[in-house]
Structure 1
Amino acid sequence: MMSRVQKGVIAGLVATVAVSILEAVNLFAGPWVEPFPLFIAGMLGMPGNLAVGWIAHFVAGSVVLGSLFGILCPKMPGQTPETKGIIFAVGAWAVLMVTVFLFGDPRIFRGSGGFGMVAWMLVSHAVFGIVLGNVYARLVEREKRAAKLMDGVAPAH
C-alpha cells in the first residue's frame, strides 16, 4: 500500500515527463520562448547550464510538487482529479511568478521572454496539472481495486 505522498511523487514524475516533452520540442524545434530548464538554471545562479535546469525541473516536479499534491489532493476543491491538478498547478505557477518578482530578477520577462514566456509557463503548468491529477487518481483507484480483491483473503503466512 502506497502513501499519498508516494502516489503524488509517481504522478509528479509522470507529469514532469509529459511537460518535459513539450519543453524538449520548444528547446529543439524553437525555441519560441525561453525553455523552463534554462529559466530555472538562471534562477539558481547558473544561467545557460541546461543539465542543472533539467535536474531541478525533475526534482521540483516530482519530489516537491508531486508530494505536495499527494498531501493536498483530498482537501482541494474541484469535481475531477484533473480539475484539482489544474488548480494545484496554476497555484504553483502563481507562487513561482510571485517568487520571481519578489526575490528574482523580473527583467527575465523582458526581451525574448515577456508575455509569451509567462503564457507558455501557465499552459505547461496546466498540462502538468492535468497529467498529475489523472495519474494520481488512477493510482488511488488501482489501490482501491486491489484492496477490494484482497478483502476476505487470508494472509499467506
Structure 2
Amino acid sequence: MTFRKIRNAFIAGFCGTLVHSLLILVHSRSGPLPGFQPNEDMQRGLSWLVGAEVHTGVVRLLSFVNGAIVWGFVFGQTYRFLPGNSPWLKGVYFGVCAWLVMGFLFFPLVDRGVFAAKLGLGIAPAMLMLGALLAYSVTMSLVHGFFDRVSADP
C-alpha cells in the first residue's frame, strides 16, 4: 500500500462524504420526511452506547470521519474487486451493499426497525437512504476511478 493509494482513497471518501453530508443536511432542514432524521438516530445510538449525551457536533464529526477515512479506505481496498467495468457500476454496487447494512443492522440497532419501518412512513425512509448512499458511493467511486486513470497515464 502506497501513500498515493491511501491519499486517493481519503480524497475519494472525503468527496463522497461531502455530497452525502450535504444531502442529509438539506433533508434535515427541509426534507420531505421530517420524522426521519438519521443523524438524530445516530446521536441517540451513540448516547446509548457511551451512557451519556453526545453533542450533535461530535456525531457529525464522527460521521464525516467514518465516511471519509474508514469507508474511504475500505472502498479503496475493495475497488478492484467490486463488480462492474466502470466506476459508476462499482459505486452503485458499493452503495447498495451499504444500504443493506444500514437497513438490516443500523436502523434495528437504534430501534427504528428494519429499513426504519417502525417510523410508519412506508418505504420512503429506505428510498431516501438509498439515494443518499448512492450519491456517496458513486461520487467516491468516480473520484477514485479518476485517480486510477490519472495515475495509470504515463
Specify the TM-score bucket, using the shorter chain as the normaliser: 0.7 to 0.9
| 2:27 pairs with 1:18 | no
Is 1:98 the counterpart of 2:129? The answer is: no
Is 1:8 the counterpart of 2:9? The answer is yes
Q: Normalising by structure 1, report the TM-score.
A: 0.79
Per-residue Cα deviation, 1:89-117 (whole angstroms, up to 9, x for no partner) = 21112122222366442356423655322
**For the residues of structure 2 that align with 1:96 and 1:140, how far apart are their CA atoms?**
28
Alignment of 1:1-157 (within 5 A): 2-30=3-31, 32-33=33-34, 34-45=36-47, 49-100=55-106, 103-107=109-113, 109-111=117-119, 114-145=122-153, 148=154
Unaligned ranges ≥5, structure 2? none
Identity of aligned pairs, percent?
Answer: 23
- Contact kept, 8 Å, 2:44 with 2:110, in 1: the verdict is no
AA aligned opposite 2:146: R
Distance 1:87 1:60 in 2: 19
Cα contact 1:41–1:48 (8 A) shared by 2: yes
- Does the residue aligned with 2:19 lie in a helix, a strand or coil? helix
Q: Structure 2: how far apart are the matches of 1:4 and 1:54?
A: 26
- What secondary structure, in the 3-state scheme, does the structure 1 residue paired with 2:70 have? helix
Aligned CA distance change for structure 1 residues 143 and 28 (closer, same or farther; 3 Å)? same
RMSD: 2.5
Q: What are the ranges of 5 or more consecutive residues in structure 1 without an aligned counterpart?
A: 149-157
Aligned length: 146
